[in-house]
Amino acid sequence: MRRPLAHFRTHCLLALGLSATGTAWAVHAYSQFGDVRYPAGFAHFSYVNPAAPKGGEIVLVPPTRQSNFDKYNPFTLKGSAPPAMLGMMFDTLLVGNMDEPTTAYGLLASDVAVASDRMSVTFQIHPQARFHNGDPVLAKDVRYSFDRLTSQQAAPQYRTYFGEVKTATVLDERRIRFDFVRPNTELPLIVGSLPVFSHKWGLEGDTHKPLDQMVMDIPIASGPYRIGRVQFGKDISYERDPDYWARALNVRQGQFNFDRITYKIYKDPTAQLEAFKAGEFDYMQSFISREWARAFTGRAFERGELIKAELPHGNAGDFQGFLFNLRRDKFQDVRVRQAIALAMDFEWLNRQLFYNAYSRVRGYFVASDFEAKGLPGSDELALLAPLRAKLPAAVFDQAVPQPPQTALDPASGHTLRDHLRQARDLLKDAGWTYRDGALRNAKGQALSIEFLDSSGSMGRVVTPFAKNLEKLGIQVRYKVIDFALLQKRMDVFDFDIISNRTVGSEAPGTELLERYGSRSADVEGSGNVNGLKDPAVDALLDKVVSATSRPELVTSLRALDRVLRHGHYVVPHWYGAVHRVSWRAKAFARPADLPRFYQPEKLVTTVWWSPTATPSPAKVP
């Protein structure tokens, strides 16, 4: 929802729970930039069926290439937790919805109050909130969860994500206050997303086990599902809790309708697809255009037993690309990275392999208002000018870089040969020349690249890419390894180039500190896959997280996008404008309308329902 700028400050104050005089009071929701769609006491979110019946079972597969799981703790770095555990089992203080990307409503917290100076937020815990063991959810449990997740025992991304929270203070049995390092309009949403678990999880007598030693301890959480049947390492079922404490709340009406949700894990993607056709599970999402066009076919589709659909959405595009490991000396020179990117012919790939189903990723904030264009405007220059000494001159006097584009007609534009010639010159300027059968530097070291993959599906992309790189004298290896081993090698930064996808966001913010910030570059398991350390990027990230209005956020993200693109840290891939999904017709019923922003797996597991379940009246709080 858009508001006239003249009204923006007033609406922002109201959304923050502030009056014009700066006095804080408690409200039912929090919005980062001003609009709260649903008033206090609303009945349900617009995209759900509040009368959806409860019952039935669905079986699906993870949308990732997860090949096993070996623990029940989703918060530690080592090992793999079962798919979907966080969303199924852990309630949070606030909960978002699929129409408002920067607004959240009370769940475990019955209300939220932001201080007039925006330096703290206080949550009142809902008096009915209960853990699965029957204990009430108290402020001390919230504090316990926060302390554990920000400790050295948890995965490092939590310390970064909550890094601007200074302290968590228990005010009384059901009130907790979080104090911030600095004012940041996103921080109440970040703290509100804290997964809360019982202080009794991991308790042995009077002593708590360290979080990273809680491997097989079943979490004591408060979400709509509990762990049910398990074939450890392979399949897991989540059983709906009939006594779920929030089942009557408006933010849960019409949701979590299946009695049982089972995830099956397949190591081989071909076997997975054939198992779907054979009826072993009910739903899957396709990420490969050739598979979608040629493999999602057969009698079951012709008879209508299996539905194949391209669901529209309003999401920002996903960022995907081949990421260079900047910790490797051979990738330190920007000219080397730029030359390698010139060797990928996306237009050929799209015609020959992708059925023209994709658009090229241009920047880091795909298909959004945050994407930099042309030369920097006055608003961007105001942020970039103080950083001039830390930035290449091209940031200021050249248009933002675009991925190389080849033309069918050589007379109408650049060809692949043109790009390879440009790449050759860049490599020569960087000190790499062809001799003794390879492209070598002054020390005689050959330039070699290893691409890692966990499924083999990227092989058809790497093969023509590798042939082009080999024309430049670059030695290329393509290696397929198990997903768990790939994850481990990424965690310890043992790779050259990796294919990586990041789900798009309608309001990027604090998570970018962990993805591109210098502090996370050398932290094993962090999201800074590239190993990027750039003081100019750090300064712009600081502007992003301190933005107090939507226009400020847009400007800071465009400036960040511009600087990152001039760094040529990735070989950009492609993105699609729809979700390609398929499901068993008899397994699902669904509302007629789709929300604006959603991921299909979450939509299926939270909003759809079994057509064989018995309808029941809507429950209104």
How high is the pLDDT of residue 267?
A: 86
Q: Quickly tell me which residue has 């860049």 as its tokens.
A: 426
pLDDT 10s digits, 428-477: 999 999 999 999 999 999 999 999 998 888 999 999 999 999 999 999 99
pLDDT 10s digits, 512-566: 999 999 999 999 999 999 999 999 999 999 999 988 888 999 999 999 999 999 9
Task: Report the predicted TM-score, pTM, of the whole model to 2 decimal places.
Answer: 0.84
Contact call for residues 427 and 336 (beta carbons, < 8 A): yes
Pairing of strands 448-453, 175-180: unpaired
Pairing of strands 570-572, 319-324: antiparallel
Is 350 a residue whose pLDDT tops 50? yes
How high is the pLDDT of residue 26?
A: 53
Q: Indicate the average pLDDT of the chain.
A: 91
Share of the chain above pLDDT 70, in %: 94
Closest of 409, 410, 411, 377 to residue 396, by C-alpha: 377
Helix (H) or strand (E) holding 342: helix 334-342
Is 8 a residue whose pLDDT tops 50? no
Burial class (CB in 10 A: 0-12, 13-18, 19+), 617: exposed
Closest of 593, 621, 550 to residue 5, by C-alpha: 550
pLDDT 10s digits, 18-64: 333 333 445 899 998 877 999 999 999 999 999 999 999 999 999 88
Contact call for residues 558 and 380 (beta carbons, < 8 A): yes
Is 613 a residue whose pLDDT tops 90? no
Rounded mean pLDDT of 190-217?
A: 95
C-alpha span between 81 and 201 (Å, rounded)? 16
Helix (H) or strand (E) holding 31: strand 29-31
Tokens of 419: 């790009």
Band the pLDDT of 282: cuts 50, 70, 90: very high
pLDDT 10s digits, 382-391: 999 999 999 9
The strand ranges marked E within 408-447 are 433-435, 438-440
Contact call for residues 321 and 571 (beta carbons, < 8 A): yes
How high is the pLDDT of residue 23?
A: 36
pLDDT 10s digits, 86-134: 999 999 999 999 999 889 999 999 999 999 999 999 999 999 999 999 9
Band the pLDDT of 11: cuts 50, 70, 90: very low
How high is the pLDDT of residue 475?
A: 97
Pairing of strands 359-360, 574-575: antiparallel
Pairing of strands 433-435, 578-584: unpaired
Tokens of 570: 């990735």
| Number of C-beta neighbours around residue 289 at 10 A | 18
Closest of 215, 152, 164, 214 to residue 190, by C-alpha: 164
Domains defined along the chain, listed by start: 5-36+91-222 (3.40.190.10), 320-414+446-460+475-575 (3.10.105.10)
CA 188 to chain centre: 19
Band the pLDDT of 15: cuts 50, 70, 90: very low
Closest of 354, 384, 236 to residue 287, by C-alpha: 354
Long-range contacts for 34-40 (Cβ within 8 Å, ≥24 apart)?
34/3, 34/8, 34/550, 35/1, 35/3, 35/11, 35/100, 35/103, 36/100, 36/103, 37/1, 37/99, 37/100, 37/103, 38/105, 38/250
Rounded mean pLDDT of 570-594?
A: 94
Is 5 a residue whose pLDDT tops 70? no
CA 463 to chain centre: 28
